[in-house]
Amino acid sequence: GENVEQHPSTLSVQEGDSAVIKCTYSDSASNYFPWYKQELGKRPQLIIDIRSNVGEKKDQRIAVTLNKTAKHFSLHITETQPEDSAVYFCAASRAEKLTFGTGTRLTIIP
Amino acid sequence: NAGVMQNPRHLVRRRGQEARLRCSPMKGHSHVYWYRQLPEEGLKFMVYLQKENIIDESGMPKERFSAEFPKEGPSILRIQQVVRGDSAAYFCASSPGQGSYEQYFGPGTRLTVT
């Protein structure tokens, strides 16, 4: 089955700096890669996603890149703000079953 | 446009009792997924259902756990004879299907087994 690894497990950045979270996946047939943000005690929220036929996607301060050959994808957050503090999960899927990474706890230092 | 609804939000059961968790998908969504999240851990896939059909239950424990999504009404995740290890947050997600992969999560049910 699919296996998703996510790094780092914790990340602290100064407000205004950029944050990068990386994931690798094992199943070359995976074709959909979403990112979720989860605040303490809340539901995971879909923040951005990318399909395997696209190399990069951007939405305001958030961008995701995908390297199918190397089987890795990354989340980039620019101009970080305190409200970006949360746990971020990557996931990979084919046939609709999502396999999640173990999460990155992002802390923005004011 | 209501999002994914789950109830109850918190559920306390004694060991050996049954737990029933309910999930109503977003309007227009016909695909439902259940995930389990242990404290400080990621989400683990349990089961994927469409109306009246279980599509993929590869993440479900073989015993005590069952799920259904009837023609009418919410999807239900049922845990029989709960044990302390079942304590977790159980999240339901839904998607419209038909080639749309985005899954939207409900607020979760936090199950505590005492």
Among B43, B106, B107, whose Cβ lies nearest the Cβ of A100? B43
B10-13 and B109-113 beta bridge pairing: parallel
Q: How confident is the model at residue B101 (pLDDT cuts 50, 70, 90)?
A: confident
- Decide if B41 touches A, using CB distance below 8 A: yes
Interface test with A, best of B33, B55, B100, B101 (most A CBs within 10 A): B101
Average pLDDT over residues B39-53: 91
Whether B108 sits inside 8 A of A43 (CB atoms) is yes
Q: Has residue A22 got a pLDDT over 60?
A: yes
Compute the mean pLDDT over every residue in chain A, rounded to the nearest whole number: 95
Distance CA B81, CA A30 (A): 36
Looking at residue B1, what is its pLDDT? 54
pLDDT for position A93: 92
Q: What is the pLDDT of residues A36-66, one digit of tens each?
A: 999 999 999 999 999 988 899 999 999 999 9
β-strand A86-94 against A104-109: which pairing, if any?
A: antiparallel
Structure confidence at residue A97 as a pLDDT band (50, 70, 90): confident
Among A53, A98, A99, the strongest candidate for a mutation testing the B interface, having the largest count of B CBs within 10 A, is A98
> Which residues, at least 6 apart from B22, have a Cβ–Cβ distance to it below 8 Å?
B6, B7, B8, B74, B75, B76
Chain A residues within an 8 Å CB radius of B99:
none
